[in-house]
């Protein structure tokens, strides 16, 4: 069994370094942007951050370089499925968005498959990657699938 408070929380300036299984809870954070970057700690497991917002239909999966603006004002839980660093910042001014590169928008060679639907049938939400949307399909660890 994992001892949850065995290691101190690692801060790198404004970034919070999470290990696999660590969670972060935010309340009333509508409009804030959650950003992900690689963890400073080497690991075998690929970094992935799972965001669940209260009263929102879909979950969001972030890989390093991805970001997501929180839509709800309730609780948001971010869970690391591998070592990853996270920060929460004010979102850009409304109307200022990153353009989507034509290759991604047209489904070109850089486009990746859409995320798989959640086990309950609801769609998984897409995160934003700098320069366009992120269409990466998360690989669920066996513990999350009931295996």
Q: What are the tens digits of pLDDT across the range 58-89?
A: 899 999 999 999 998 899 999 999 899 999 99
Over residues 4-61, the pLDDT tens digits come to 556 655 545 688 889 889 999 999 889 999 999 987 766 677 889 999 999 888 899 9
Would residue 102 count as lying in a domain? yes
Would residue 140 count as lying in a domain? no
Contact by Cβ (8 Å): 50, 138: yes
Q: With bands split at pLDDT 50, 70 and 90, how would you rate the model's confidence at 102?
A: very low
Would residue 118 count as lying in a domain? yes
Average pLDDT over residues 100-125: 44
CATH of the domain at 78: 2.60.120
- Residues 107, 26: Cα–Cα separation, whole Å: 35
Question: Average per-residue pLDDT in the chain?
Answer: 69
> Which residues, in sequence order, are bridge partners of residue 125?
60
Would residue 59 count as lying in a domain? yes
Would residue 96 count as lying in a domain? yes
Higher pLDDT, 102 or 144: 144
Would residue 31 count as lying in a domain? yes
Tokens (6 digits) for 120: 């309950």
Q: Which domain holds residue 88?
A: 10-132
Would residue 58 count as lying in a domain? yes
In this prediction, residue 10 carries a pLDDT of: 54
Q: Count the domains in the chain.
A: 1
Would residue 91 count as lying in a domain? yes
19 closest CA partner among 66, 63, 68, 82: 82
In this prediction, residue 101 carries a pLDDT of: 33
Please state whether the predicted TM-score (pTM) of the whole model is above 0.85: no
| Distance (Å) of CA 67 to CA 5, 10, 103, 109 | 27, 20, 20, 22
Tokens (6 digits) for 30: 């509508």
- Residues 19, 41: Cα–Cα separation, whole Å: 9
């Amino acid at each position: 069994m994992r001892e949850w408070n065995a290691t101190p929380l690692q801060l790198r300036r404004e970034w919070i370094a999470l290990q696999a299984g660590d969670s972060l809870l935010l309340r009333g954070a509508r409009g804030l942007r959650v950003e992900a970057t690689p963890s400073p700690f080497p690991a075998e497991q690929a970094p992935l951050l799972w965001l669940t917002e209260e009263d929102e239909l879909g979950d969001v999966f972030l890989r390093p370089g991805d970001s997501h603006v929180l839509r709800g004002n309730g609780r948001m839980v971010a869970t690391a499925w591998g070592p990853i660093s996270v920060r929460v910042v004010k979102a850009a001014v409304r109307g200022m968005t990153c353009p989507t590169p034509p290759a991604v928008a047209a489904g070109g060679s850089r486009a990746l498959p859409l995320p798989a639907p959640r086990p309950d049938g609801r769609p998984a939400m897409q995160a934003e990657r700098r320069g366009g949307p992120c269409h990466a399909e998360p690989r669920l660890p066996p513990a999350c699938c009931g295996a």
